[in-house]
């Protein structure tokens, strides 16, 4: 009899089946408990990962919104700064123009004052030269008698000249 009962593979299979029949229930419960706990732990980790992903997406949305708000505020501040700079430049230009006009007017006033002083000085010099020339001419051409009669006439006409001057 050389049949199936003499084969080693047959007896290995039978012993395998008998092992699981006798010890299967005792082994099955701890194995399923271990597998169930591992499945529960993996499920919890997946749930935690999903929750963390949702939180990360929410944080990303918040960060994106805050970045856009900050960018808008920065653009607003830059535009306001440009407007302030333009206004300050315009004010400085106007003040500079006013200052130049004032300095120009002051220079004109100084020039006019110097001109008046020069004209006065020239007139005074002309008067001095005329008086000196008149003295020389009068002294050469007038006699003592003519000079006395001229002086007496001037003294007599003095009250009338002062009255005209006062009026």
What would the pLDDT profile of 49-95 be if each residue is shown by its tens digit? 999 999 999 999 999 999 999 999 999 999 999 999 999 999 999 99
Neighbours of 39 (CB within 10 A): 11
- Percent of the chain exceeding pLDDT 70 equals 99
Residue 145, pLDDT score = 77
Span 107-164, pLDDT tens digits:
999 999 999 999 999 989 888 888 888 877 777 777 777 778 878 888 888 888 888 8
Give the Cα separation of 31 and 36 in Å (integer).
Answer: 8
Residue 113, pLDDT score = 92
pTM (2 d.p.)? 0.42
Determine contact, residues 134/127, Cβ cutoff 8 Å.
no
Can you say how many angstroms the Cα of residue 151 is from the centroid of all Cα atoms in its chain?
83
Determine contact, residues 50/58, Cβ cutoff 8 Å.
no
The residue ranges of every structural domain in the chain are 4-166
Give the Cα separation of 111 and 107 in Å (integer).
Answer: 6
């Amino acid at each position: 009899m050389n049949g199936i009962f003499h084969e080693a593979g047959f007896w290995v299979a039978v012993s395998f089946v008998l092992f699981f029949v006798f010890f299967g229930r005792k082994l099955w419960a701890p194995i399923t408990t271990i597998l169930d706990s591992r499945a529960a732990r993996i499920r919890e980790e997946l749930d935690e990962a999903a929750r963390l992903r949702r939180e990360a997406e929410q944080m990303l949305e918040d960060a994106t919104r805050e970045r856009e708000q900050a960018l808008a505020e920065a653009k607003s501040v830059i535009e306001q700064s440009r407007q302030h700079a333009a206004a300050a430049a315009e004010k400085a230009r106007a003040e500079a123009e006013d200052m130049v006009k004032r300095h120009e007017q002051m220079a004109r006033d100084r020039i006019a004052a110097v001109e008046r002083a020069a004209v006065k000085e020239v007139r005074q010099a002309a008067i001095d030269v005329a008086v000196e020339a008149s003295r020389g001419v009068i002294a050469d051409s007038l006699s003592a008698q003519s000079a006395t009669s001229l002086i007496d006439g001037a003294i007599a006409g003095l009250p009338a000249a002062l009255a005209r001057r006062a009026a």
